[in-house]
Amino acid sequence: MTEIKTDSDLEQLGINTIRGLSMDAPHAASSGHQGTAMALAPLAHVLFTRVLRYSAKHPDWFNRDRFILSAGHASILQYAMLHLTGYGLTLEDLKDFRQLDSLTPGHPEVGHTAGVEVTTGPLGQGFANAVGMAISERWLRAKFGSENINHNVFVICGDGDLSEGISHEAASLAGSQQLGNLICIYDDNHITIDGPTELSLADDAAKRFEAYGWDVMDLGESGEDLDALENALLEAKSNTSSPTIIILRTHIGHPSPTLTDSPSAHGYAFKDKEIFETKELMGLPPEESFFVPSEVLDMYRAAGERYQQEAEAYSWQAEDHMGSWNLSSTRNLYEESVGESVATRVASGICLNEIAKDLSIIAGGADLTGNTGTALTGFEQLSPSSPSGKQLFYGVREHAMGAVMNGIALHGCIVPVGGTFLVFSDYMRPAIRLAAISKAKVIYSFTHDSVGVGEDGPTHQPIEQIMSLRSIPDLLVIRPADAKETVAAWITALNHDGPTALILSRQNLPILAETSVDLAQSGSYFLKEDNDANTTLIATGSEVSLCMEYATNAPVNVLSIPSWELAEQFSPEIQRWDEYSANKTVISVEAGVTLGWSRYADRSIGIDRFGASAPGNEVMDALGINVINIDKEVKEEGN
């Protein structure tokens, strides 16, 4: 590390420069959040010049500290630091803040802007991402040694982050895991959009985090004290037995003479007059926008180079240490078991255990580990005493599980797998959506995939969830028909560059002679095809075997379509579907809402109401997912 020398006047000029940029960029865009970035400028200065281990010219250096701005609305703060320290963002990029195709979007986006670790938007998600990244770092350090992996995860959150329920779940998990590499700075500015936090928030954050098992440091009114900030951050780094939260009382919009501590400063409040007055007070040229003195730029560029030599000498490569996987034995098992019945959640669990033998993977469920096929046999539980265990018990925390998985994946080198009942994917939806935006390689094991769940009733019986997940761009959704298609689903998920949702049955399904591990990977294929047949049944999951049962004595074609996304990309059947379906009557069969099936089918057999409490096969039958109803629809088309 190369030390940089600064004086207090230069540091203050740097902080004021950050504040100037924090006003100017949103003003140029007529959109954005200025006040939080202004208040946190001293903290950002200390982090990027005194504390963080990073190399601006090597943003992907694997052993860098991870910095997450969970309060992503203050993105201009991060963009200002990325420009000043030399990550490649230019002043022109700052001037294009929030503009089409710019490198400075409204909230930080991983993969879009160098130096951004995760995509933060919905409040609380970044906080939970940080927990996932801390789990990853500790896991890799335990497995590959501190000489290769040894860094911290820093996250800045605000009142909004800690108000969201996801933060409670994630903080509780982090405390139980004793993540000593996790440092959170809580920007306690007492301001929300509606007004003072006292309107709706009476929490004692210090007591709350103490109860979670965190180390709590309350710095009070130290937001402008650079040495106090540095000392607290370094002390937090030295605490390796528990996560640390530093509570920092700041004043939004500081040092504005008119807007400090004003709720309006949370958004776009600083216009010409307010910017002029604040810059004049700070000693900046009030009429000059995007002002960066050369000596300030030199100071920050030197900070961005402090660890450059260490980064360039680093030789450990994450891609070389993820391990490998082989599903040939599981594939052979099911190809030899035609006629037997296996729930796809069970088949998936067998695949997962085979994969976990050699692949860097962390798997678990939201208190449903055994139920969702995410239980590992013969692997250690991930815990403070076994930090490289592969079995992570998330507890009843679907909200946090989704976002923690994103953090694990985006840290790099580990594939996270998380399970819950399909109906509870709704709890995880914001994190699933962010995984898709981020192209995070996470795998969801969503089980109990239909009203076949049975006696638990409509609250636990998914109806709209499958189609809802299909509506998320860049999310791969796979609903296998049997154990063989489940093997195909896992092969596809592991090869996919992004998130995958496996939709799996609770009930046993017959292993069909006609299904194919290879063909299923294309997303759709015919299990029965007769050019003279006028009707084609198209189905997913448990309904495929139902269609095949009907087709035994009926002149119909049967098309399995385990994944719409794969089919539209790879399947020759779907790619020529308009031509094919012009000469056939197509009927879709899926135990869920019929909305959306019109893209493929002329008629749909589905469930457009909530379920009922009864044995699963009875509910299926009562709601028309049966051979009798298929026959009725086919014959109706023939009239």
Q: How far is C-alpha 617 from the geometric centre of its chain's CA atoms? A: 35
In the structure encoding, which two tokens stand for residue 73, read together? 């609305």
In the structure encoding, which two tokens stand for residue 623, read together? 């709601």
Alpha helices in 178-327 (DSSP H): 205-212, 226-238, 272-282, 294-304, 308-313
CA nearest 29: which of 117, 105, 131, 140?
105
In the structure encoding, which two tokens stand for residue 553, read together? 């004595």
Catalytic residue selected from 109, 398, 514, 573: 398
User: Strand 153-158 relative to strand 500-503: parallel, antiparallel, unpaired?
Assistant: unpaired
State the Cα–Cα distance between residues 405 and 246, nearest whole angstrom: 24
In the structure encoding, which two tokens stand for residue 628, read together? 């009798």
State the Cα–Cα distance between residues 11 and 401, nearest whole angstrom: 40
Which helix (H) or strand (E) is 559 found in, with range? strand 556-560
Neighbours of 239 (CB within 10 A): 15
Q: Are 234 and 174 in contact (CB under 8 A)?
A: no
Facing residues of 509 across strands? 342
DSSP 3-state of 560:
strand
Q: Is 52 left (phi over 0), alpha (psi -120 to 50) or beta?
A: beta
Facing residues of 361 across strands? 415
Contact partners, residue 613, CB within 8 Å, separation at least 6? 454, 455, 456, 457, 458
User: Strand 191-192 relative to strand 195-196: parallel, antiparallel, unpaired?
Assistant: antiparallel
Cis peptide upstream of residue 286 (ω within 30 degrees of 0): no
Q: Are 268 and 207 in contact (CB under 8 A)?
A: no
Alpha helices in 88-225 (DSSP H): 91-95, 125-144, 159-163, 165-177, 205-212
State the Cα–Cα distance between residues 524 and 488, nearest whole angstrom: 12
Mark whether 398 is an active-site residue.
yes
Q: Are 83 and 93 in contact (CB under 8 A)?
A: yes
Q: Are 582 and 508 in contact (CB under 8 A)?
A: no
For the chain, the distance separating the N- and C-terminal CA atoms, rounded to the nearest angstrom, is 81
- Rg for the chain, CA atoms, rounded: 27
Angle, CA of 328, 332 and 336, to the nearest 5°: 175
What CA dihedral angle connects 235, 240, 243 and 245, to 10 degrees? 0
Q: How many CA atoms lie within 13 A of 485 on its CB side?
A: 35
Distances (CA, A) of 199 to 36, 190, 191, 238, 603: 19, 10, 10, 37, 52
CA nearest 469: which of 564, 554, 383?
564
Q: Are 191 and 84 in contact (CB under 8 A)?
A: no
CA nearest 96: which of 106, 86, 109?
106
Instruction: Give catalytic residues, as residue numbers.
Output: 398
